[in-house]
Structure 1
Amino acid sequence: MDNTRRFFIKAVASSTLLGGALVGCKSAPLVDMLSSPVRGDDWKMADAIKSSIKVPSFPDKTFNIIDFGANGDNKTNNTVAINNAIKSCNAQGGGQVIIPQGQFITGAIHLLSNVNLHLEEGAILSFSTSPEDYLPAVFTRWEGLEMMGYSPLIYAFEQENIAITGKGILEGNANNTTWWPWKGKHKEAHWELLTDNNGQIIEQKTARDKLMRDAEQHIPVEQRIYADGAYLRPPFIQPYRCNNVLIEGITIKNSPFWLVNPVLCNSVTVCDVTFSSHGPNSDGCDPESCNHVHIKNCVFDTGDDCIAIKSGRNADGRRVNTASQNIVIENCHMKEGHGGVVIGSEISGGVNNVFVQNCTMDSPHLERAIRIKTNSVRGGLIEHIRIRNIEVGTVKNAIVINFYYEEGDAGQFDPIVRDIKIDNLHCKNVLSKALYLNGFARDPIKDITLTNSHFDQVGDESIVNHVTNFTIDNVTLNKQPMSLAKITQ
């Protein structure tokens, strides 16, 4: 059996296990994935994945939040009105909940099945910065760990056929007084620290450390209570265990934490979204333990990774044991962030079948174009990654695969990273390294192919440690052919 067929048989089998069926995916394209024409062509596989994703559609019924008592005066708290409109829409079989032109203050919004939250042009949903507006606690994931925490600003749990669409703005207001300072002391801090009545700095570290211990000690999730007083910032949009999710057209600004974080979802489409947030951990789009994801035509201007594919952290990720897989990313622009397309670092459940094409990246503050980050504490099986046609202006490091991220080599779960092909990556100005590949001697990075790629101007020598079966073809560095002999250690 060839490797390509093996990868996709495994993907389909894993998808079937998630929730008992491959919910939301049409059966015909899945058969096509294993047929002869697709089996030998990675990018036909990518097309088959896109075809198998079910984009939700909705009945032609509208529920204007004004009719439920909402007021776009930038003064009224509209949480009850918006959620009542969502409940009514759901109860009547679904449709669009309309956010009209105006500035509507709200707390947590909880989406229900068959509801499209639609923001008309000129509409702003302005989210409260009062933590009590995100209580009671909900079942959520935070940095790859399950817990009971503050509700995400927009949340859905075990729903299907849901959407957030339109030309309006979701304003998280996290750049004001509450959310970002909870990060505490940080080398990139551009926020004022907060103190309690005793003059102690308010920050997330104590609760974060305890949550890590709870997860390693297998404390039941319902006993991991980390809402009021824990200072763990909620993500902006988090559908959890949902099927058929669409996020389209909107602008998302100033998020407390990660901007879009679907967890354990099937059939997710994120398109034409503008991500704009420069706070701590302002990742743009982080699909986590999701199956069949399409991210396209988006603009990322973020304070952390633009796109980071994840699958749970450490013991908790291994307990849930669900990979992120069958993901297509295309036609996106990464303006600024820690990484353009990233896999990790919460990666213990593994990642496979990722296809990235036709993206642009350009910023002196963009730290890495392509990055995989893990270690022997987090582990994870990362395989069958395909990347092509990436145009990069200025970036610090171009391709980074690092087995020593954060905790270093301190665990017993060696990661497996293998079968990665990158074709037609063009970087005009690499401020530091074209390649930084750092595996373990006992557990090297395996089967890396880099073709038709050019790094026009590079500041520092590349580093390649413990990589087996590394193939390059038609690759230039500072306009000269790249030599593996010079960079491999």
Structure 2
Amino acid sequence: MIELKIPQELGQEDRLVTEEFQEVLDHAHGEGGARVTVLEGTYHIGSVRLYGHTELHLEEGAHLMGSTDIADYTDWGIPTTLAYAQDPFIARIQGIPPHYTRALITAADAEEVAITGEEGSTIDGVGCTDPAGEEGFRGAMGMRICRCRNVRLSGYTFKRSANWSHQVDSCTNVSFEGVTVLGGHDGFNIHHCTNVEIARCMLKCGDDCIAGFDARNVLVDSCYLNTACNAFRLGATNLFVTRCRIVGPGEYPHILEGTYHMHAAIKYYAVKGDTIREDVCNWRFADCSFENPGRLINYDYGSAKGYQTERPLVDLHLVRCTAEGISQSSFFKGRADVPGTLELEDYQLQYAPDEANVGKLCIQLGEGAKLLQENVSYEGEEPLMGPRVVEEDEMKAEVLKKATK
């Protein structure tokens, strides 16, 4: 692999250097791949595209600074594999625009793609807003990596994402190692991905830390997750989470709501309008701690508002974990024919419900759902478990949903 460098003088310019930056990436592409190094400096860029067999490496003190003008971003005309974003009903409800997948850095239909950084290197989305974007303000994605194989992301810090920091979809063999995310929206989105490893990462997000549906074989190890939304919002077959610390409230706010509290530590995700190939099964959290998670679990099959209407979750296992400061009642409700199994083993739970949840069960179980317990220590005045209770406001929401179809 040849070695190329982004000219360091570009990092001293107080202007966009997108064209010159892209010229080096195009040179790498023409050579069949290269290691492209970004030297110390601040490089102001709009959208750039990375190709296969290429590593973009940021040295210590190298900073990529996104444009503050949404017109400087593109999706390169590359079709998305996120079918739900093109569903008319979902697009209307969420305000998803046709240019939804514009990004600061894009790689698509490639193999052996890497973005790496040394300590002290950053990529900054500058929170660039788009009045015509999702929810009326979201801007470009941070990174968009689509239909790629053998993806390696490591070492850098991504901050102030204008939408998801990392939109990685329909990829195989993806590694996140030692990546830090600060503020903005989602941290890692892994829709339709297979074989994903996330290790020793620090995610302090305004929105979901790790999200995505129709994923397979996901390992999350030794990570710190802090959020003002959901720590895990996933639909993944074979999910193994070990030695992680999940902490609320968020250090950074949920930008749309202006709030900091964590919504849920574990939330199921199976959205209508996209491809979900199989029932989701084999979720195992081991040796993890949950601090002030709001709800510990939000699995409420059939909830359109929660995007939990497609394939069900078969089983969830929490082993050698602790959860303290749970303030909202959890749901574990499956589909009628697949009610689900929840296992707690060597588990310590502390439930201190907030005002709106006083008198509610710690865990509400759907009809037929199975709860397996072994060596569970529970602290709380309300019962640990009981049947799912559908409240009046939820029933009104269902009526409203049907009326808007």
Q: State the TM-score, normalized to the length of structure 2.
A: 0.79
Q: Is the 8 A contact 1:140 1:148 kept in 2?
A: no
**Match in the other structure for 1:446:** 340
Measured after TM superposition, the shift of residue 374 of structure 1 is: 3.9
**CA shift digits 1:230-285 (9 cap, x unpaired):** xx74321111110110110111111121111211111100111111123xxx1110
Moved over 6 A (4+): 375-379, 479-482
1:445 alignment partner, SS class: coil
**Match in the other structure for 1:383:** 281
Q: Map 1:191-340 to 2 at 5 A.
A: 203=136, 233-278=139-184, 282-311=185-214, 324-340=215-231
CA separation of 1:238/1:183 partners in 2, compared to 1, >3 Å: closer, same or farther? Answer: closer
Q: Map 1:360-375 to 2 at 5 A.
A: 360-364=245-249, 365-374=261-270
1:129 alignment partner, SS class: coil
Is residue 456 from structure 1 mapped to residue 350 from structure 2 by the alignment? yes
Is residue 352 from structure 1 mapped to residue 303 from structure 2 by the alignment? no
Structure 1: unaligned runs, 5 residues or longer: 1-58, 185-202, 205-231, 312-323, 345-350
CA separation of 1:405/1:283 partners in 2, compared to 1, >3 Å: closer, same or farther? Answer: farther
Measured after TM superposition, the shift of residue 447 of structure 1 is: 2.3
Single out whichever of 157-166 and 382-391 deviates more from structure 2. Answer: 382-391
**Match in the other structure for 1:393:** 291
**Match in the other structure for 2:392:** none
Q: Which has the higher contact order (CA 8 A, sep 6+)?
A: 1
Measured after TM superposition, the shift of residue 399 of structure 1 is: 1.7
**Match in the other structure for 2:331:** 436
Q: Is the 8 A contact 2:348 2:378 kept in 1?
A: yes
Is residue 124 from structure 1 mapped to residue 63 from structure 2 by the alignment? yes
Q: Is the 8 A contact 1:389 1:423 kept in 2?
A: yes
- Choose from 127, 137, 140 the match for 2:80: 140
Q: Is the 8 A contact 2:114 2:151 kept in 1?
A: yes
CA separation of 1:408/1:101 partners in 2, compared to 1, >3 Å: closer, same or farther? Answer: closer
Q: Could you tell me how far apart the structure 1 residues matched to 2:21 and 2:102 are?
A: 16
**CA shift digits 1:37-95 (9 cap, x unpaired):** xxxxxxxxxxxxxxxxxxxxxx3x3211107xx51125132111211111222322433
Q: Map 1:27-42 to 2 at 5 A.
A: none
**Match in the other structure for 1:88:** 27
**Match in the other structure for 1:152:** 103
Identical-residue share of aligned pairs (%):
22
Query: Across the two proteins, how many residue pairs are aligned to each other?
Result: 355
Measured after TM superposition, the shift of residue 98 of structure 1 is: 1.2
1:90 alignment partner, SS class: helix
Q: Is the 8 A contact 2:70 2:140 kept in 1?
A: no
Q: Which amino acid aligns with 2:59?
A: E
Is residue 62 from structure 1 mapped to residue 35 from structure 2 by the alignment? no
Q: Is the 8 A contact 2:152 2:174 kept in 1?
A: yes
Measured after TM superposition, the shift of residue 151 of structure 1 is: 3.0
1:165 alignment partner, SS class: strand
Q: Is the 8 A contact 1:379 1:415 kept in 2?
A: no
Q: Map 1:46-61 to 2 at 5 A.
A: 59=1, 61=2
Q: Could you tell me how far apart the structure 1 residues matched to 2:69 and 2:343 are?
A: 50
Query: How well do the aligned residues superpose, as a CA RMSD in angstroms?
Result: 2.8
Q: Which amino acid aligns with 1:447?
A: T
Q: Could you tell me how far apart the structure 1 residues matched to 2:85 and 2:271 are?
A: 17
Measured after TM superposition, the shift of residue 390 of structure 1 is: 1.1
Structure 2: unaligned runs, 5 residues or longer: 87-97, 250-260, 390-405
Q: Map 1:17-32 to 2 at 5 A.
A: none
Measured after TM superposition, the shift of residue 366 of structure 1 is: 2.0
Q: Which amino acid aligns with 2:172?
A: N
- Choose from 402, 416, 435 the match for 2:312: 416
CA separation of 1:255/1:144 partners in 2, compared to 1, >3 Å: closer, same or farther? Answer: farther
Q: Could you tell me how far apart the structure 2 residues matched to 1:97 and 1:287 are?
A: 25
**CA shift digits 1:417-468 (9 cap, x unpaired):** 20222212201211223x322335x345312222111112432422222242
